[in-house]
Structure 1
Amino acid sequence: MGTLLIKEISKSFQGRKVLEKIQFQVEEGEFVTILGPSGSGKSTLFQLIGGLLKPVEGSIIIDGQDMTGKRGTISYMPQQSALLPWRTVLQNVLLGQELQGKKDEQKAREMIKRAGLGGYEEALPGALSGGMKQRVAFIRALLSPQSLICLDEPFSALDDFTREEMHEWLLSIWSSYRRTILFVTHNIDEALFLSDRILILSTNPAQVIHELSVPFPRPRHHDLLLTGEFLEKKRELTGFLKR
């Protein structure tokens, strides 16, 4: 499965409200992006979904079950790859499965090869570039048994060229496996290029102030960013972000 329902979530820190009655839904196999300025509460929302924090009010429903405040219900990929430096690429990829008591080494090797990392199975993370590390981290997230993957600005530390390369790679892998993805970014181009839908958060206290269904067919390539329709949607999103 992989459905997510956020029902009127609010969160405060030391009396300051960060999120106010956030509500949205993500369907199975969707790629939905949360877009908002820095400090708008995007990462806080992920921590709530992952059970690291509890909301002041509201609930989080995953696959029809109330998972508010419960951990281990999502697969999470942070801004940094968070690979264990003493484990090989293959061992890092299998980590999520190991924690759940099961491993599929053959599938892991197949996905590593498809990610263009064939021959690096026994390499340690220190031998990899930034983009290669992020590929390993994403494969680990895909192989984890949880039905929902949360990606928290995973490409923010990469240079522009590597970032564009990673966008196309991510979509090619995702289109084959169609896992449900909730993605966080403050990069408008990235949100438009990757997503099925985009939800815009206001500044604190954050609320969903706009929703855009992305009209561009898949597969997508980066020449899309130069089209008039792409620039038109970018202007639309920019207008909401400046409010």
Structure 2
Amino acid sequence: MAQLKIRNVSVSFGKKQILHSVDLQVSNGEFVTILGPSGSGKSTLFHLIGGLLHPDNGHISLNNHEITGERGHISYMPQSPSLLPWRTILDNVLLGQELSGIADSEYARMMLQKAGLGDYEKAYPHELSGGMKQRAAFIRALLSPQSVICLDEPFSALDELTRLDMQKWLLSIWQEHQKTILFVTHNIDEALFLSDRIVVLSQKPAHIVKEFTVPFPRPRNEDILLTREFLEVKKDIYYTLKQGLAVQS
């Protein structure tokens, strides 16, 4: 079980307030996306959850255990794959397990096979395409023992078609393993296609403007992106984002 609670969290850098009284709960196995304008503090929120930063106010808990300012409770995947260039792909995906003292190389090989990387386990990161590196990085996050995975715009550097392929692949893997995922993006289509729930942040100092429960059943495929229902929900989220942008820091 993995229930993440963020309660009344605020943080400032110097005199600049970044987050203001953010309250958010993510349930076990839920896929929640944080959507907001660039620079609104989405990545800062991840750094707070991961213990890299300490909030000025508020508390963060996981399964009713206080983790505010503590590291090691989540698995984190940044925008870049951040694979270690001197390690093979297999060794890279095993890194999280190694740091926890347990490494299951056979299961890792099976996951690489499912990701279409079975022939690349002995390759090095420079030998892989951008999409392949992202798959390897996600497998590393998935294999780490933490029950919550935070994904920070992992597909933003990919072209549109590769990005859609990666989104479909991510959904297929997530639906199989049902880990709790907190996802950051500023792309409305991506948020709607992937999520159970979408949390919209305002401009700095960021607070939650509104939450949307995504009404589309799973499993999903790309056909949904062109439906009238999808475009109607997208329009609602777009105007909510505009409302958030109107907030002045």
TM-score in terms of structure 1 length: 0.99
Q: Tell me, yes or no, if structure 1 residue 16 matches structure 2 residue 5.
A: no
User: Which residue of structure 1 aligns with residue 54 of structure 2?
Assistant: 54
* CA distance in structure 1 between the aligned counterparts of 2:158 and 2:82, rounded to whole angstroms: 15
User: Which residue of structure 1 aligns with residue 191 of structure 2?
Assistant: 191
User: Would you say how many aligned residue pairs link Structure 1 and Structure 2?
Assistant: 243
User: Which residue of structure 2 aligns with residue 75 of structure 1?
Assistant: 75
Q: Tell me, yes or no, if structure 1 residue 157 matches structure 2 residue 146.
A: no
What secondary structure is seen at the aligned counterpart in 1 of 2:112? helix
* CA distance in structure 1 between the aligned counterparts of 2:22 and 2:111, rounded to whole angstroms: 36
Query: CA deviation digits over 1:167-226, x for unaligned, max 9?
Result: 000000000000000000000000000000000000011000100000111111111100
What secondary structure is seen at the aligned counterpart in 1 of 2:53? coil
* CA distance in structure 1 between the aligned counterparts of 2:98 and 2:185, rounded to whole angstroms: 29
Q: How far 1:134 moved relative to its partner?
A: 0.2
User: Which residue of structure 2 aligns with residue 135 of structure 1?
Assistant: 135
Residue identity (%): 64
List structure 1 segments (4+ residues) > 6 angstroms apart after TM superposition.
none
Query: CA deviation digits over 1:113-165, x for unaligned, max 9?
Result: 00011111101011100000000000000000011100000000001110000
How do 1:1-243 and structure 2 match up within 5 A? Answer: 1-243=1-243
RMSD of aligned alpha carbons: 0.5
User: Which residue of structure 1 aligns with residue 247 of structure 2?
Assistant: none
State the one-letter code of the partner of 2:227.
T
What secondary structure is seen at the aligned counterpart in 2 of 1:116? coil
Q: How far 1:24 moved relative to its partner?
A: 1.0
* CA distance in structure 1 between the aligned counterparts of 2:206 and 2:98, rounded to whole angstroms: 36
* CA distance in structure 1 between the aligned counterparts of 2:172 and 2:147, rounded to whole angstroms: 19
Q: How far 1:42 moved relative to its partner?
A: 0.2
Q: How far 1:3 moved relative to its partner?
A: 1.1
* CA distance in structure 2 between the aligned counterparts of 1:50 and 1:73, rounded to whole angstroms: 7
TM-score in terms of structure 2 length: 0.97
Task: Name stretches of at least 5 consecutive residues in structure 1 with no aligned partner.
Answer: none
